[in-house]
Amino acid sequence: MKVRRTLGLAPVMGLPLLLAIALPVIALSLAANPTELWQALGHPRLAEALALSARTSLLSLILIVAMGTPLAWYLARSRSRWASVVETLIALPVVIPPAVVGVALLHAFGRRGLLGGWLGDALAFTPAAVVTAQVVVASPFFLQAAIAAFRDVDEDLLLVARSLGASARSAIWRVAIPAAAPALIAGATLSWARAVGEFGATLLFAGNLPGQTQTLPLAIYAAMEEDMALARALALLLGALAFAALLAIRWVPGAHDSKRRGQR
């Protein structure tokens, strides 16, 4: 009986937290009327910021997946003491404030940074800086999902593939990656959403230059001082993208499980 009473009180105790999460989303959705929203959607700043966010986030995602997949496989399968150190290091951007990441990027790649003499002015405050900031802050979300997925791959499946004549690389591509695909896709989607929403590190390392480094979050920040209707439209668009990414993360594993049950 005590357990049932506790379970019955759980929704009531969690209601304030639920309201704190849901009310801002509802308020933002109700803030703009359709006419105001339609006018704001035609603003040239929206088109510029949306195009830049689309280009940079897609390039960031390609780089994260291309470089992160082999790294995640190594970390998932390695028993080296250094592997755990590296795994801790790549998780740091999740817990470090984005502003700190931005300052660190300046000290690493800025004009007076560690590699400043080599890079010159080719990176900081350019579209390449936007991509760099997005890769740094978003890659842990893909890497952590990929590491966990690769650790769950049955070792016997790889051994069977090798016994049938597949090379180690072929076994990874034909067995490990398909088995881990739902988690990899979910991690990539979450990583992309984090890249699109990146603000602090981008602002400090790439600046807020319209048409050059002003992504959607930075455009919202700039519009707050000039055009609140535009800021609301941009915020709604960015929120819709995040919601779509969340739906994709929830749908992919479920669809994969349904497909496997159908095959059985």
Same domain, 126 and 151: yes
Amino acid at site 209: L
Q: Enter the pTM of the model.
A: 0.85
Same domain, 91 and 166: yes
At 203, which CATH number?
A: 1.10.3720.10
Same domain, 17 and 141: no
Predicted local distance difference test score (pLDDT) of residue 141:
95
Same domain, 7 and 63: no
- What are the DSSP calls for the chain, one per residue? -HHHHHHHHHHHHHHHHHHHHHHHHHHHHHHS-HHHHHHHHT-HHHHHHHHHHHHHHHHHHHHHHHHHHHHHHHHHH---HHHHHHHHHHTHHHHS-HHHHHHHHHHHHSTTSTTHHHHTTSSTTSHHHHHHHHHHHHHHHHHHHHHHHHHTS-HHHHHHHHHTT--HHHHIIIIIHHHHHHHHHHHHHHHHHHHHT--HHHHHHH---TTTT--HHHHHHHHTTT-HHHHHHHHHHHHHHHHHHHHHHHHHHHHHHHHHHHH-
Alpha carbon 139 to its chain's center: 7
Same domain, 120 and 158: yes
Amino acid at site 55: R
Same domain, 161 and 245: yes
Same domain, 79 and 164: yes
Same domain, 26 and 45: no
Same domain, 48 and 21: no
Q: Three-state secondary structure along 147-175?
A: HHHHHCCCHHHHHHHHHCCCCHHHHHHHH
Q: Is residue 219 within 8 Å of residue 45, measured between CB atoms? A: yes
Judge whether residue 4 has pLDDT over 50: yes
Rounded Cα gap, residues 104 and 204, in angstroms: 10
Same domain, 158 and 228: yes
Same domain, 176 and 95: yes
Nearest to 190 by CA among 233, 243, 258: 243
Predicted local distance difference test score (pLDDT) of residue 3:
46
Predicted local distance difference test score (pLDDT) of residue 64:
97
Of 66-80, 116-130, 193-207, the poorest mean pLDDT is in 116-130
Amino acid at site 94: V
pLDDT over 70, % of the chain: 89
Q: Is residue 196 within 8 Å of residue 141, measured between CB atoms? A: no
The mean predicted confidence, pLDDT, of the chain is 85
Tens-digit pLDDT profile for residues 148-203: 999 998 887 888 887 777 777 888 888 888 989 999 999 999 999 999 999 999 99
Tens-digit pLDDT profile for residues 190-218: 999 999 999 999 999 999 999 899 999 99
For the chain, the domain total comes to: 2
Give the residue numbers spanning the domain of 18: 1-31
Same domain, 191 and 251: yes
